[in-house]
């Protein structure tokens, strides 16, 4: 919340007409609005102007909106996220929740419904809707959903889409333990089955990629539960 009592909403939608409609409607409802058209711009804007809520299209030109949500969470954004989606399959909706989304609206939608969803995620996350203070490792760690890469200091490493989702989930939740089932849901959205060996292989890959950029935190195995980054 801003000093004047208004909430800030980040709107990420590549359709210009819809983005303008959302911006105007939210402003009329009393919100401060930051409209952007790409996932990369959403991540950069959230870093400088922490939002209280994010309206995020899943189908963006530079990145999957779910990857953008992961990147926002990884950089400490705790705002409520409302996904906009033209997809109607249940797995698409559930995968949005798995990566840190709070609600969704299917296109086409009534604007009154969107307003209710935005107000709902702000109301449910009042104690969290600010940007987390960065620690020493966070100050130089960047997660980019457009290039599927992570950067630390002057080092950068490219990731496959699955590696990106897997690592972004761990980064966003550190230092808490992330259960194996949660990592599977984030890394392989909609997958019916992911074997134990496959998950272990991605743990090894994640450790290798973090070592490549000399990131000081370690990916630990918490036996019988899952993994944590600390």
CATH number of the CATH domain containing 209: 1.10.10.10
Instruction: Let me know whether 106 and 145 are in one domain.
Output: no
> Among 100, 124, 148, where does a domain finish?
124
Q: Is the pLDDT of residue 88 over 80?
A: no
Distance, C-alpha 90 to centroid of its chain: 19
pLDDT at 139: 55
pLDDT at 138: 54
The tens digit of pLDDT for each residue in 36-78 reads 999 999 999 999 999 999 999 999 999 999 999 999 998 889 9
The tens digit of pLDDT for each residue in 125-147 reads 754 444 444 555 555 788 899 89
Mean pLDDT score of the chain: 87
In whole angstroms, how far apart are CA 55 and each of 32, 102, 165, 206, 211? 13, 10, 20, 30, 34
Instruction: Let me know whether 69 and 148 are in one domain.
Output: no
pLDDT at 23: 96
pLDDT at 137: 55
- Residue 149 binned pLDDT confidence (cut-offs 50, 70, 90): very high
Domain that holds residue 169: 138-229
How many domains would you assign to the chain? 2
In a domain, 130, yes or no: no
- Residue 4 binned pLDDT confidence (cut-offs 50, 70, 90): confident
Between CA 158 and CA 152 the distance in angstroms is 12
Instruction: Let me know whether 186 and 114 are in one domain.
Output: no
pLDDT at 41: 95
Between CA 200 and CA 203 the distance in angstroms is 5
pLDDT at 80: 94
Q: Is the pLDDT of residue 159 over 80?
A: yes
H helices of the chain, where? 16-28, 39-48, 65-74, 90-98, 111-124, 161-173, 180-187, 196-212
Instruction: Let me know whether 114 and 217 are in one domain.
Output: no
Instruction: Let me know whether 90 and 148 are in one domain.
Output: no
pLDDT at 129: 42
pLDDT at 101: 87
Instruction: Let me know whether 118 and 12 are in one domain.
Output: yes
- Taking the whole predicted model, whether its pTM rises above 0.85 is answered as no
Instruction: Let me know whether 111 and 173 are in one domain.
Output: no
- Cα 127–10–153 angle (5° rounding)? 85
């Amino acid at each position: 919340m801003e000093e004047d009592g208004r909430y800030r909403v980040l709107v990420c939608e590549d359709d210009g007409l819809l983005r303008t409609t959302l911006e105007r409607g939210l402003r009329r409802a009393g919100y401060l609005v930051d409209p952007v058209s790409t996932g990369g711009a959403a991540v950069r804007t959230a870093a400088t102007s922490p939002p209280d809520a994010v309206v995020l299209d899943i189908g963006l030109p530079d990145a999957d909106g779910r990857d953008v949500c992961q990147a926002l969470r990884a950089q400490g954004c705790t705002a409520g996220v409302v996904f906009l989606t033209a997809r109607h399959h249940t797995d698409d909706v559930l995968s949005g929740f798995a990566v840190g989304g709070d609600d969704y609206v299917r296109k086409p939608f009534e604007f009154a419904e969107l307003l209710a969803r935005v107000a709902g995620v702000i109301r449910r996350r009042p104690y969290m809707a600010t940007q987390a203070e960065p620690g020493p490792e966070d100050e130089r760690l960047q997660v980019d959903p457009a290039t599927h890469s992570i950067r630390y200091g002057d080092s950068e490493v490219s990731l496959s889409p699955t590696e990106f989702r897997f690592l972004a989930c761990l980064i966003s939740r550190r230092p808490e333990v992330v259960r194996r089932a949660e990592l599977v849901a984030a890394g392989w959205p909609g997958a019916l089955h992911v074997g134990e060996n496959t998950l272990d292989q991605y743990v090894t890959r994640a450790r290798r990629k973090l070592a490549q950029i000399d990131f000081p935190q370690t990916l630990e195995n918490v036996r019988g539960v899952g993994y944590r980054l600390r």
